[in-house]
Each structure stands twice: as structure tokens, then as C-alpha cells.
Amino acid sequence: MTGALRPAGEAPAEVEDVQASAEVVSSTVIHKGRIWDLASDEVDLGDGVSVVREYVQHPGAVAVIALDDAERVLLLQQYRHPVRSLLWEPPAGLLDVAGEDLRDAAARELAEEADLRAERWDVLVDYYTTPGGSDEPIRVFLARGLSPVPHDERHDREDEERDMASAWVPLDDAVSAVLAGRVHNPSAVVGILAAAAARARGWETLRSVGADWVR
């Protein structure tokens, strides 16, 4: 959906984010990066008000909450240099293959990072990572019916991914870790809590893999 900027104080009929684009007076790429760029836009907010907003232009990403038959979620420990931390995360990756289907991208990441395949895929939740400073959207899938990738088909992991630790954590324990402040990766926080909420509703909130995408 698209729409004009909502007047202040007008109450929505229901809580739902609406795409609405203010006029961009000018746009400059401040820095061209290896994966994402830093942009600066002058934005006309109407009534003679304009502002300059700098933000990261990002290709988007997918993440996978892999849930086994014992309702344990797979988490991988990966070093994240900007926050100088080893974080527990679900398998995830950039949408950096032109034209790749979102579910296929998620399946690729699950295979490459965790040596797993899944029979059933559903959309669990969508979110923006940092809407005040980045246009990055992430779709989090729920993957079930897991099986190992044959050894001769496994991906050779490199860099930070080459020796990632892994853990199968009962979903309830993963929720407790999030709420206790022991897990900080956004896809882990969002995905774990969304999985627990969806399970509590009998999985009726799950969407098909072809559900509308913010991009």
C-alpha cells in the first residue's frame, strides 16, 4: 500500500504500516561501499519544511528460524565487528543474488551456514532493521521438516563463518534468553519471539512464502 504522509493526530482505523513517500528534493551517495552505500537525501515534508536525512542503502536480507521436531531452534554464534561481540543468530544472509526468490535465498543460507534443508517453509515475520538510519528490510522464514545436506554437497565456509559454533535451543529457553537480555541479534530477537507467538496461536499467523514483500 502507498499513501500520503498522515496528518498529525489522525487516528488510523487499524494499526498497519503504510508506505508513503515524501518528495526527495536531492539525493547524493556520500560513500559507495562494498555491500551497501551511504546516501544523503533532502526531503520535502510539506508546509515549507525540508530536512536532510543520511541513511544506509541496503539490498535487504533473509533470516531463518529453523525449528526441529523437538521444537528447538538453531542458533549460530558469529563475530560481529561493529558491536565487538560474538552474537547468537539464526542462519541469515544478504539478498545479493540478482532476481533470487526470497525463499530460495533463505534455503541457500540455511544450507550454506547450517548444512540443513527444510521440507516446509512459511513466512514468520517481516521487519526493518533500523528504519531511522537504513532502508534494510528482513524477511524471517520458519523452516521445519529439517534434514542434513549430504557431505559432498556442503558449502565451504570462509571468514567469520568458517568456524561458527552452533546450538539447538528449546524455543521456550530461547525466549527466556531474549527477555533476559542475553541475546541481542535483531533477527534472533524478532524471530524467536515471533515463533513463540505463532506457536501460541496454533501457527495460524504464518503466511505463505509468496506473501507480499515490502520491496
Q: Residue 153 pLDDT more than 90?
A: no
* Length reported for the chain: 215
70 DSSP 8-state letter: T
d(CA 71, CA 213) in angstroms, rounded, equals: 27
| 161 in active site | yes
d(CA 120, CA 31) in angstroms, rounded, equals: 40
Q: Which amino acid is at 31?
A: H
Q: What is the tens place of the pLDDT at every residue in 173-205? A: 999 999 999 999 999 999 999 999 999 999 999
Q: Which three cell numbers stand for residue 180?
A: 533476559
For residue 115, what pLDDT is reported? 94
Q: Which residues contact 35 (CB under 8 A, 6 or more apart)?
A: 59, 94, 96
Name the band, by pLDDT with cuts 50, 70 and 90, for residue 18: confident
Q: Which three cell numbers stand for residue 24?
A: 526527495
Domains of the chain: 1-57 (no CATH), 61-200 (3.90.79.10)
Q: How far is CA 147 from the centre of its chain?
A: 23
Q: Residue 6 pLDDT more than 70?
A: no
Nearest to 166 by CA among 65, 77, 78: 77
Q: Which three cell numbers stand for residue 161?
A: 563463518
How far is the CA of 121 from the CAs of 2, 76, 93, 101, 197, in angstroms?
Answer: 28, 20, 16, 13, 17
Please give the angle made by the CA atoms of 203, 207 and 211, to the nearest 5 degrees: 175
Q: What is the tens place of the pLDDT at every residue in 63-84? A: 999 999 999 999 999 999 999 9
Q: Residue 9 pLDDT more than 80?
A: no
126 DSSP 8-state letter: E
Catalytic residue among 42, 71, 112, 161: 161
DSSP per residue, 93-149: EE--STT--HHHHHHHHHHHHHSEEEEEEEEEEEEES-TTTB--EEEEEEEEEEEEP
Q: Which three cell numbers stand for residue 157?
A: 565456509
